Amino acid sequence: MNDKLSKAIDECRAKIGVIGLGYVGLPLAVELGRAGFEVTGFEVDAKKVASINRKISYIGDVKTTDLAALVSGGKLKATVDFSKLGGQDAIIVCVPTPLRKSKDPDVSYIISATNSIAKTIRKGQLIILESTTYPGTTRELVLPMIEKNGLKCGRDIFLAFSPERVDPSNSKFNISNTPKVVGGITPKCGKLASSLYSKITSSVKYVTSPEAAEMVKLLENTFRAVNIALVNEVALMCDRLKLDVWEIIDAAGTKPFGFMPFYPGPGIGGHCIPLDPHYLSWKLKTLNFYSRFIELAGEMNSKMPEYLVQKIVDAVNERGKSIRGAKILLLGMAYKKDVSDLRESPSLDVLKLLLDKKANTAYYDPYISDFKMGGRTFRSVKNLKSLSGYDAVVVVTNHTVIDYADIVKRASLVIDSRNATKGIKSSKVIKL
């Protein structure tokens, strides 16, 4: 089984199934198709399936022309029929792993995907989990489910974990030039998974277990969360000291060793950085270990939307206007620039806080035309032609397509939480 599968992978003849066609799954499916594999995407969202089969991309990092070429060439297709998983030689799971309100891991999507795999699993299949999760998930949760029919991992079937490292809208790093980390249940499992990824990426780092690979992903994002929390606290310090935190960071960044610049903002968002550290914290609590850094970082980062809103309130008040009834325009609702992803976006918190204060709040985002929150639908203003009617324009997400010099020229007050107005000198600009 091992030799047959290994040869199929080496010759790019293996049929690959990708479960979950979102920001992680679709780019991965495209790269596998480019490498010559026949790829089938499995997705519960029929709209996504229809879009792929119509040769239209809904992910910013995947060009419609590239997707269309693969679909037309028979290298990529999508389906809602999970019974076809049995026909795949390798299956890669890329489903969401959110947190519950109690900040406990919600692995229901992993369980659902694994159940679908278990129903059709056969000898000679390789299963890889990419969804970010706590150390032990692959071995303790997935392994028993795929072995329940009597197949033995490492002999009949093969299981590994390889954390996704997707950074949406990053023009420099993508799947092909970002090393993959792989940990297998057995050495054979790890070797097969490494061989598959070596076809689509520059290098593969093999670690000794899936637990180690799971921990790698959590370390990466906990590192970011803690350092962002530190620089957010420095921003508050600089505010008290009447210093420009952006100037401080730029100057510190000139040091060629021992310093890596991180930048403050209105909070952290997306599916990874706000959530992943809590997966690690939760796991450690089950082992009677309290992670102080993670908890403190989460507390600091969660305060930033309130801090920004207080900045807005103070700035509007200084100009003789109450925040109640004030017209506020938020620039950017996505969690990061140049994406359309609203997940965990701090902009949502800022909007809610302003609405709670009875501010007349609107938003503009070229990537998000509308969204729902609290049973209400919000729609982006159509353009930025008229800013004179707003008491404040607030940069929450710094999309690069926005002309910030023009915003400063035409707005009466600009509150910049992302340093989007760097180099623009104006008394109308207040920075975080």
Give the domain ranges of the chain: 2-218, 245-431
Distance separating alpha carbons of residues 230 and 382, to the nearest angstrom: 37
Q: In the structure, what pLDDT confidence band is assigned to residue 278 with cuts at 50, 70 and 90?
A: confident
Same-fold call for 2-218 versus 245-431 = yes
**Active site members:** 272
CATH topology of domain 2-218: Rossmann fold (3.40.50)
Q: Which residues pair with 181 in a beta bridge?
A: 205
CATH topology of domain 245-431: Rossmann fold (3.40.50)
pLDDT in tens, 118-146: 999 999 999 999 999 999 999 999 999 99
Residue 128 CA from chain centroid, whole number? 19
Distance separating alpha carbons of residues 350 and 305, to the nearest angstrom: 5
User: Is the model's pLDDT at 276 over the cut of 90?
Assistant: no
Distance separating alpha carbons of residues 428 and 425, to the nearest angstrom: 9
Q: What is the pLDDT of residue 102?
A: 73
User: Is the model's pLDDT at 271 over the cut of 80?
Assistant: no
User: Is the model's pLDDT at 13 over the cut of 70?
Assistant: yes
Task: Compute the radius of gyration of the chain from its Cα atoms.
Answer: 24
Q: What is the pLDDT of residue 288?
A: 92
Q: What is the pLDDT of residue 114?
A: 98
pLDDT in tens, 16-66: 999 999 999 999 999 999 999 999 999 999 999 999 999 999 998 999 999
- Whether 154 contacts 125, CB under 8 Å: no
DSSP structural state of residue 363: E
pLDDT in tens, 205-239: 999 999 999 999 999 999 999 999 999 999 999 99
Helix 276-285 × helix 292-318 angle, to 10°: 140
User: Which pairing describes strands 180-184 and 158-161: parallel, antiparallel, or unpaired?
Assistant: antiparallel
- Whether 282 contacts 275, CB under 8 Å: no
- What's the whole-number average pLDDT of the chain? 95
For residue 131, give both structure tokens: 């969804």
Q: What is the pLDDT of residue 229?
A: 96
- Is residue 82 helix, strand or coil? helix
Distance separating alpha carbons of residues 343 and 367, to the nearest angstrom: 14
Q: What is the pLDDT of residue 133?
A: 94
User: Can you tell me the mean pLDDT for 5-16?
Assistant: 97
Q: What is the pLDDT of residue 1?
A: 63
How many residues appear in the chain? Answer: 432
User: Can you tell me the mean pLDDT for 338-364?
Assistant: 96
* pTM of the model as a whole: 0.92
Give the percent of the chain with pLDDT over 70.
Answer: 100
Secondary structure (DSSP) of 190-238: HHHHHHHHTTTSS-EEEES-HHHHHHHHHHHHHHHHHHHHHHHHHHHHH
Where are the strands (E) in 304-426, listed by range?
Answer: 327-331, 360-364, 370-373, 376-379, 392-395, 414-416
Q: What is the pLDDT of residue 62?
A: 96
